[in-house]
Chains A and B, each alone.
Chain A
Amino acid sequence: MSRGQGPTTTGRAVLFALPAVFPVVAVLGVSLAAAVLQSLGLMPFIGPPSFSVEAWTGNTGELVRATGLSLNIAATATVLSVCIGFLIAAYVLASPRMGWIVGALSAATIPIPHLIGAGAIGLLLSDSGFLERVLGMPAAFPALVGGPWWIAAITEYAWKESAFVALVVLGSIARSVGDLCDAAATLGATARQRVFRVVLPLAMPSLAVSALIVFVYTLGSYEPVWLLGPTSPEPLPVRAVRLFGSVDLTARPEAMASALVSVAVGAGVILIGILVVRRSREFR
């Protein structure tokens, strides 16, 4: 933030931002407020409103388990996406001709909706799916879809989100990295050294930001974990949607509590991420 600007400039800036900011804040604010009210029993479908924290405290164990599971899935998917995404970006930069094809393939992955991606991964990895038929090993095929390690769901995230990470990284460093790599090569740096000493530090800020986005997205994402995960335990979004659609109208507050926990965790992660990015030297 720069200082020394007069109050008029700030005022005008606020005014200009208002048309964009107001709808977002209003929609988010209203829906979050409604969710909080519903979770506290103050906006019931039937009967008079009565304040209760039952939805938050009634089944804390399950809520905590769901949160832990969601964090685990999101963290694993983020780490994988960032690593694979960076490798894709480095490859595209290193070998322009083949890299162009890889880059185009990554870009083509982005518009595929997660639901379709999850369906495709399901067809590929399920017990009697494409891969199993190609390999022809029914007995030994591991439980990837619906298995205890959420492998299919995490694979889906890693596939889609690594393409996103690669594109963000490429977009942010493609201009500056060429000359620096050339200079390093002239000074005798090996390909490996160029990737880890030149490309990686340059890519750090965009990696960090895209990692944050991927983490928060996968934390709140519903379709892949619902389609490819086991029945139990449930991540937060699956639990929230199941309870939201429950025929038991009194389950609605619990659904809202689950959804709000994922909002709070997401917001917390964003805050911490922003602080880390701002503090750390590498990212400036």
Chain B
Amino acid sequence: MPRLPAPVSPRRRAALYTAASALALLLTSCSGATVGQVKSFESFDEVRAEAEGQTVDLWMYGGDEQGNAYVDDVLAPAAREQGVILRRVPVADTQDAVNRVLSERQAGRDDGSVDLVWVNGANFSTGRQAEVWRCGWTDLLPNMEYTDREDPLILSDFGTPVDGCEAPWHKAQFTFFYDSEAIADPPTSLAGILEWATANPGRFTYPAPPDFTGSVFLREVLLSAAGGADQVPLEYSEEAFDEHAPAALQALSEVAPSLWREGSTYPRDEQALNTLFANDEVDIAMTYGPATLTDLVAAGALPESTKVLTLDEGTVGNASFLAIPANAADAAGAMIVANIALSPEQQAAKADPAIWGQFAVLDTELLTPAQQDQFELLPESPIVPDYAELSRNAHGELAADWVPALSEAWRQDVASDR
């Protein structure tokens, strides 16, 4: 029997109209949302008064066990002493936190669930473009006096002016490391690493951009292929990209057949690369957090023969920051936490390789002798040289706009190629 569509009854039509208008209402309430005026503070005492009893949600990359332990066991208790409860929200990638802020803003929420984000680079610049950060608040923090106001790493973040939109937290240095049992005579430059990879097929690879570590490697290859960090303008422009990117992509395409799995696939992230390194599938790996190496070797996650590989031309260094979204529900509490995190006591504790080993952002010359002692008494790592040696000949980061452009080009030219 053929089935005939049933005629729409008036009642059903009415129900349809109701549903449609409800939908329209929901839709319109979502669009055109704007965030209300951000309440500003005149003094830090005002911040303190407002922060009392607030619960601050710190959204941060959750893949670093030591970092998680530092925040939970050292920073959070210090915050509690000042009347602020610090809650760590682990995310797989900082982009998730930025996305959350963006989505909440699009939904018109003034009481955002993200109060503080561990951020730098492209995520910071994306947030600035979309105007999601609270700005001009870091001058209120008393502990900013211990930082060097002229330090380029603190003044600009991947070429984006910081403008008081984020408080410095630590410094980092991009670092290669290798298995000293497998490589007796390690390369001393990035070009040397690529040559070594060609000569030792299957023993080198890098995380696939847009992974954070993978895209740093991409930028390092760009600078190396261009003949040095001073050859590439920090500012992104299409002309500069067209001038310098092809050489880097070509170098990576040429080395691809000699990579792990003949370059048909790449590790997903730094952890996946570390796993390959630990399983003796590759002999050279890389990280933007060399501080974690000490602990990884001590815990047996990386072999004892792991050694840091410093390059003659230096590697890229940066600082990472704590930013407060403009719609954060507990902004005052977040400022208290950012201030505590900058204190010499916290920075020294954080620099201890047994705790986290992150390099301090403070200028030790501005500290009292007692405070300086805290840093000088830090135990030395058997694997990681100190910051001064790691950052020898270091160069700054390219502007954030380079990051997505290079990742996309890599995906088109290098990854899809094979």
Contact = CB atoms under 8 A, between A and B. Distances in A.
Contacts of B268: 226-227, 231
B11 A29 contact: no
Interface in A98-156: 127-128, 143, 146-148
A34 B107 CA distance: 11
Interface in B26-70: 26-27, 30-31
Contacts of A242: 210
Interface in A26-44: 26, 29-30, 33-34, 37, 43
A1 B6 CA distance: 10
B96 interface: yes
B323 interface: no
B6 to A, nearest CB: 8
Nearest to B12: A14
A230 B265 contact: yes
A196 interface: no
Interface in B231-275: 261, 264-266, 268
Interface string B153-183: 0000000000000000000000000000000
B89 interface: no
B106 A247 contact: no
A22 B3 contact: no
A244 B99 contact: yes
B404 interface: yes
Contacts of B122: 247
Given A11-B9, A45-B102, A249-B129, A230 B264 contact: yes
Interface string A151-188: 00000000000000000000000000000000000000
A45 B130 contact: yes
Contacts of A247: 95, 98, 122-123, 125-126, 210, 400, 403-404
Contacts of A33: 23, 27
A249 B415 CA distance: 22
A46 interface: yes
Q: What is the interface residue range for chain B against chain A?
A: 35 or more
Contact of B130 (A7, A43, A226, A249): A249
A30 B129 contact: no
Contacts of B126: 247-249
A245 interface: yes
Contact of A30 (B3, B27, B98, B264): B27
Nearest to A18: B15
A26 B19 CA distance: 8
A233 interface: yes
A233 to B, nearest CB: 7
Contact of B22 (A7, A26, A248): A26
B93 interface: yes
A274 B95 CA distance: 40
A246 B261 CA distance: 26
Interface of B, secondary structure class, is helix
A128 B265 contact: no
A248 B208 contact: no
Given A128-B279, A146-B261, A46 B415 contact: no
A34 B30 contact: yes
A190 interface: no
Q: Count chain B CB atoms within 10 A of each CB in A7, A34, A232 and give the residue with the most.
A: A232
A232 B210 CA distance: 12
B123 A1 contact: no
B31 A43 contact: yes
B373 to A, nearest CB: 41
Interface string A45-85: 11000000000000000000000000000000000000000
Given A231-B208, A247-B210, A30 B279 contact: no
A278 to B, nearest CB: 9
A160 to B, nearest CB: 21
Contacts of A46: 129-131
B110 interface: no
Nearest to B404: A248
A245 B130 CA distance: 14
B411 interface: yes
Closest 10 CB pairs of A and B: A230-B265, A128-B279, A247-B122, A232-B415, A248-B404, A146-B265, A231-B208, A245-B95, A231-B266, A247-B126
Given A146-B265, A251-B404, 7 more contacts: A1-B6, A30-B27, A45-B102, A231-B208, A231-B415, A242-B210, A247-B98
